[in-house]
A and B are shown apart, each in its own frame.
Chain A
Amino acid sequence: MSDLLAARAQMAMSLAFHIIFASIGIAMPLLMVIAEGLWLKTKDETYLTLAKRWSKGTAIMFAVGAVSGTVLSFELGLLWPTFMAYAGPIIGMPFSLEGLAFFIEAIFLGIYLYGWNRVPKTVHWLAGVMVLLGGMMSGIFVVTANAWMNTPTGFTIEDGKAVNIDPIAAMLNPSSFSQALHMTIAAFLAVGFAVAGIHAYFLRRDPQNEFHRKAFAIALCVGGIFALLQPISGDISAKRLAKHQPIKLAAMEAQWETERGAPLRIGGIPDEEAEVTRYAIEIPKALSFLVHFDLNAEIKGLKDFPPENRPPVAIVHYAFQIMVGCGIVMIIAGILGGWLAWRHKGLPIKSWYLRFVTICTPLGFIAIEAGWTVTEVGRQPWVIYNIMRTADAVTPMPHLIVPFIGFTVLYIFLSIIVVILLRRQIFIYD
């Protein structure tokens, strides 16, 4: 394994690990705040028990998220010093704001988790709201910095150096809005369905359990609503890509030729040697229509770009298909849930539906991982799109395979423990 590959693998693994815990840290506070708010409103103790039990699981996840996030902020310098020397000041604005948001999140989380008997009830609930806002803002700012790597703005280049830096323009780069929106919704969507799935599992065994009914109702509402919102943000993202990163869109769709009336491909195996995509189900003109609302609009193909500037097409294409596939299943689950609730004027707890939602438990997280694969691998071979190649950004440090293996072993160990502890948290009471 070359040092470059080891560095990329370590970064990818660190991100893939962190994003799970970060998403939970963003979205769980919403569920807890809803449950606690309902308790304050209805005085029904079940909601209080629910908020407390959710907060225990969140405490574990948040700690792992905080430390793995710290690892990432250091890894930027440990693995990509050249990139950071160049980009650090330009993307400093979102990172500084992220620090502030993280502060708010961590301070109020302490109050939320340990202050049940120490602060007034409404203050406690407000602390939960602050955790939610801090977590959301923190995520949005970090994604904004990543968006800049896709569509770098806010500076000019003189003699290979970035000058005339405008940090606000850099922060408000063309990808910021669409990426931040897509990721924030994804976090709520994934966590909503994961939690709903767990409680659906228990409801199938004990459909009248008040605790699980309330938990399932809240989580499914959150998951379902965000599932319906996600296609809109996906559409915004695709249009942004067509305009600013057409090569990434081409890789996602495995579109080799530049053509008018491009089809939407479902499945298919891209052959990067022969520059064709085989065995895909093609829906004629659908891609052109989705991106431009015009059946005959032109979509740029990969062949328009020199091979050395193309990302690995197959990985990006497969990852994109996985993300969309998971998303569609969850949208169906959301719509079905709403329809069943409307028809039966109550909680949708038909056995087959509960089974369906249980299957959805991991889908949101699989979609998040696949989506980040699309974003990150789809930007290759660049670390800063069209400006700096990943290969030029890596540290001169040799033997990078050692820290890669070290962190991999560490994170596998932590994952196993987290699964064991969560199982204990979930099953201990039943």
Chain B
Amino acid sequence: MIQLEIYIAGVMLVSLIIYMLTGGADFGGGVWDLFATGERAKDQRELITHALAPIWEANHVWLIVIVVLLFVAFPVAFASIGTALHIPLTLMLIGIVLRGTAFVFRTYDDQSETTHLRWSRLFAIASIITPIMLGVTLGAVASGTIHVDVETGIVETDFISSWFALFPFAIGVFTLTLCALLAAVYLTLETDNSELQEDFRIRALVAAVSVGVMAGISFLLSAEGAPTIRKGLGNSVWSVPFHLLTGAVAIWAIWAIWKRHYSLARVLAPIQVTLIIFGWGLAQYPHIVSPNLTFSNTAASKSVLQPVLIIVVIGAVIVIPAFWYLYTVFKGRDDQTGSLIEQDKTNN
């Protein structure tokens, strides 16, 4: 019989995967906003804006879901992470605030070249800081350096050492490359302009290679930086086939981008990211914050977990169709190609 808290942990992992596939790609959009170059730089930016505008706020809610489930179901883990990782989380929050606000301010501020570019820069830089800090946080959680007294819940680690290290930052950059890859792949399908498609094809290839490099670096650093995870990733029965599968999908995705099979790439890149996060989740199990905190020793009581699971099920029944509808309205291939913001301006 699987314990209730494992279901909740599963929901959290799935939420994190969806957050990366949707919200992560929005951050990736910010990366490509910063690296918008060439004569089509303006068109690239505009395409990113149109792709993000209707959906980024809904995508962002997945992060709230993860946070809420964490503090409801695993309160001591939430308290420990909030204490030991106060600094990277605060930086991430500042990134979240600046990303979201700079994005809307850019749309509603005056449309002069300089103002627009100023908000673009802020939006882009915040879009880069946020996923790095999210990755640093996850890397630190995985590293096994946050020591907590299980009985009292007192964090015995200082406020710096668990995250200010090579491994968490490698995971931070790794996360950023995943976001950039997803964004570039999605963006190839957001436009009918073949030159723009080509721009994002090149970017997707660069990102895909960077993902490979960062995956390798993270794996090497994990020997020192996250020994428990490394053991999970390296020695378990499932690990070798799992790595092979992930690698195969990654190479297949690069091939699809190279061959301009964009629809296929849009399926493969998310699968690749899903496998990576899922693999981390499996390697992390049974620890929620290694080495001391496990899912079972931090779980809230059954009387708390049961109703939460019921809400999750009801929520899924309501949210998934609504989410699907949102995406069909704005991401369907048969959409009117006129840009949203243009429509928006003419509505004035």
Contacts and interface: CB of A to CB of B under 8 A. Distances in A.
A95 B70 CA distance: 11
A177 to B, nearest CB: 20
Contact of B336 (A70, A75, A118, A396): A118
A115 B54 contact: yes
Contact of A103 (B58, B104, B109): B58
- Majority secondary structure, B binding face: helix
B73 A92 contact: yes
A118 B58 CA distance: 18
Tell which of B65, B75, B103, B301 has the most Cβ of chain A within 10 Å: B75
A404 B90 CA distance: 11
Contacts of A111: 54, 325-326, 329
B101 A414 contact: yes
Interface string B58-100: 1011011101110111011011111100100110011011111
B326 A74 contact: no
Interface string A106-132: 111111011111110000000000000
A424 B54 contact: no
Interface string A395-415: 111100001001100100010
B307 interface: yes
B304 A89 contact: yes
A99 B315 contact: yes
Given A68-B97, A85-B75, A424-B110, A118 B83 contact: no
A88 B93 contact: no
Contacts of B6: none
Interface in B280-332: 300-301, 303-304, 307-308, 311-312, 314-315, 318-319, 322-323, 325-326, 329-330
- Majority secondary structure, A binding face: helix
A103 B322 contact: yes
A78 interface: yes
Contacts of B64: 69-70, 73, 99, 102
A93 B308 CA distance: 7
Nearest to B66: A99
Interface stretch (A55-63, A309-317, A353-361, A374-382): A55-63
Nearest to B76: A85
Contact of A66 (B60, B69, B90, B336): B60
Nearest to A102: B61
Contact of B72 (A95, A117, A163, A168): A95
8 contacts: A66-B100, A70-B93, A74-B93, A81-B78, A100-B311, A114-B340, A163-B301, A414-B97
> Top 9 nearest A-B pairs by Cβ distance?
A77-B82, A92-B72, A81-B79, A89-B300, A88-B75, A114-B54, A85-B79, A88-B71, A110-B54
Interface of B: 53-55, 57-58, 60-61, 63-65, 67-69, 71-73, 75-76, 78-83, 86, 89-90, 93-94, 96-101, 103-105, 107-110, 153, 155, 159, 300-301, 303-304, 307-308, 311-312, 314-315, 318-319, 322-323, 325-326, 329-330, 335-336, 340, 343-344, 347
